Amino acid sequence: MSSPPAEEEEEATDVETEEEDAEEARVSAAAAADEDDSGETRTTCCVCMEPSTCSGAHRLCCIPCGHVYGRSCLENWLSACGNTSAKCPQCGEAFQRKHIINLYIPGNLWDGCCRIQEVEAHYSRVAKYLAVLAPLARRHASEAKSEAQFVSEVADKLEVLAQSVGAEDQDVDKKLVQDVLAMVMTSYASVKGQVEMAHRHYEDLLEFVVQSFDGLLEPDYLK
C-alpha cells in the first residue's frame, strides 16, 4: 500500500531539512576554523578546514559563484564528480575546471594586516613625540636668539667704548674695558653656539620624522 501524498511531502521536507542542517553545520565549522586560538581571522578552506596558501597546490582560488577554496580541494571535488563539471560545495552552482580562478594575495596576508596596525601605532608615537619636542625646540631657539641679540648689542657698545677711550683718559682703565669686552665676546660665542645647536635639533627632528615615515612605506609593504 502506497504512502499518502501528505506523508511523502513530509518525508521530502525532512530530507531537505536534514540537508540544510548539514550545510549550516559545515558552514559554521568553517567559520569557527577561520579563527585561531589568538582570535585572528584566517582564510580557511571550508572543504578540508585547512588554511589556504598563497601558492602551491592548495593556493587560494575561487569559482564563478564567488566562494573561495583551496585549489587542490576543488580539483579533487571536480575529479570525484566526473572531471567535467561539479557543483559548488556551498551554494550548488555548477562550475568547470576552466572556471577555477587563482587569487593572488601577499605571502602572509595577516602579517600585512598587522603591518597596517604597526604603521598606525608608529605614526601615533611620532605625533606624540613631535607634540612634545617641537614646542621645546621653538622655545629654546627663541630664547637663544634673544640672548644672542642682547649679547651682540652689549659687545658692540663695549667695542665702541673701548675705541673711544684715549690715551689721555687716565680715569678709565683700558685693560678693564678690554677684559670685559673679551668676556662678553666669549659669552656671545657661547650663545651663538646654542642658537646653532637649536637649529641642529630642528634638523635632527625633521630627519627623524622623514626616516620614520619613509621606513614604513617600503615598496614591499605597498604591494
Any idea where the domains of the chain sit in the sequence? 5-102, 109-221
Instruction: Tell me which CATH code domain 5-102 carries.
Output: 3.30.40.10
- Map grid coordinates 637649529 to a residue: 199
Q: What is the pLDDT of residues 143-181, one digit of tens each?
A: 777 777 777 777 677 666 666 655 555 555 666 666 777
Q: Rounded to an integer, what distance in angstroms lies between the CA atom of residue 67 and that of residue 76?
A: 16
- Map grid coordinates 568553517 to a residue: 30
Q: Give 111 or 190, the one with higher predicted confidence.
A: 190
| CA-based nearest residue to 102, from 151, 61, 73 | 61
CA 191 and chain centroid, separation: 42
Q: What is the pLDDT of residues 17-42, one digit of tens each?
A: 555 555 555 444 444 444 444 444 45
Question: What's the CATH architecture for 109-221?
Answer: Orthogonal Bundle (1.10)
